[in-house]
Amino acid sequence: MLVAASELMIERHSIEISLSDIAQKSGANAALVKYHFGNKDGLLLALLERNAATELSNLEYLLVQPITPTAKLKLHIGGIIRAYYRFPYMNRLIHYLLHETKPECADEVSKFFVAPLLDFHRRLLADGVSRGEFRATDPVLFYTSLIGACDHLFFGRHAMSRATGVGPVTDEVCRQYIKHMETLICGGILTQAEEAVAAG
C-alpha cells in the first residue's frame, strides 16, 4: 500500500491521492487501508517515516566513517538532494504533515525526521569545529539553510518554470545543484586553512 501511494504521487506530481486510488493501485480493499493506517493522513505519515528511516540510517553510518568532517558534509549535501529527487513528493508531504494536519502528525514528523536530522547536524558541525575544519556554526541556522535550499529546488521549481522557463529537475540539474550547494555551504563554514586545502 505504501509502494502504491508512493508510485501514485510520483506519477501525478501531487500528494492529492485518495484511499480509493491507493486501494485500486495496490489491489487492496479500501477498508484494509483504513484498518492498517486509520485514514489517509496515517498512511502518508507511515510513508514519510519509511522514506526518512532509510535516509537517517545512512547518516549514522556516515558519522562513523574514517573521513574528514568536510568530506562527510559534502556527502551529506549530495545525499539530502538525492533523497528529495528520489522521492519528489517528500517536500510537499513534509509541509502538509507539519502544517495542514492534526498536531499529533506534526509531532511525529518532528520526532522521526526533524529532530534526528538536526542532531546529526549538531554532531557533524561540532566534529568539524573541534578538528579545525569548520567555523563555529549554529546548527539550527545550518539546518534551515541546507534543508530549506534543498526543499526549495523542488518546491519552488514550478513557480520558477513560469517565471524563467526552466525545465523540471533532472539528473543533470540534481548534479549541478549538488555542486552549487557544496560550494555555497563549504564556502560559508570552512575555516580559511581548510578552504586553502579544498582549493588545492
- The answer to whether the beta carbons of residues 69 and 131 sit under 8 Å apart is yes
Report long-range pairs for 170-177 (Cβ below 8 Å, ≥24 apart).
174/81, 174/82, 174/85, 177/81, 177/153
> 73, exposed or middle or buried, with CB in 10 Å at 0-12, 13-18, 19+?
buried
Cα–Cα distance, 135 to 199 (Å, whole number)? 17
Residue 13 in 3-state DSSP? coil
Say which residue the cell 538536526 belongs to. Answer: 118
What is the rounded end-to-end Cα distance, in angstroms, of the chain? 50
Query: Which pTM value belongs to this model?
Result: 0.82
Residue-by-residue pLDDT tens, the chain, 200 positions: 788 888 888 887 778 888 888 888 888 777 877 778 888 888 889 888 888 887 788 888 999 999 999 999 999 999 988 888 888 788 888 888 888 888 888 898 888 888 999 999 999 999 999 999 999 999 999 999 988 888 777 766 555 565 565 667 788 888 998 999 999 999 889 987 665 555 55
What is the separation of C-alpha 43 from the centre of its chain, rounded to a whole number of angstroms?
19
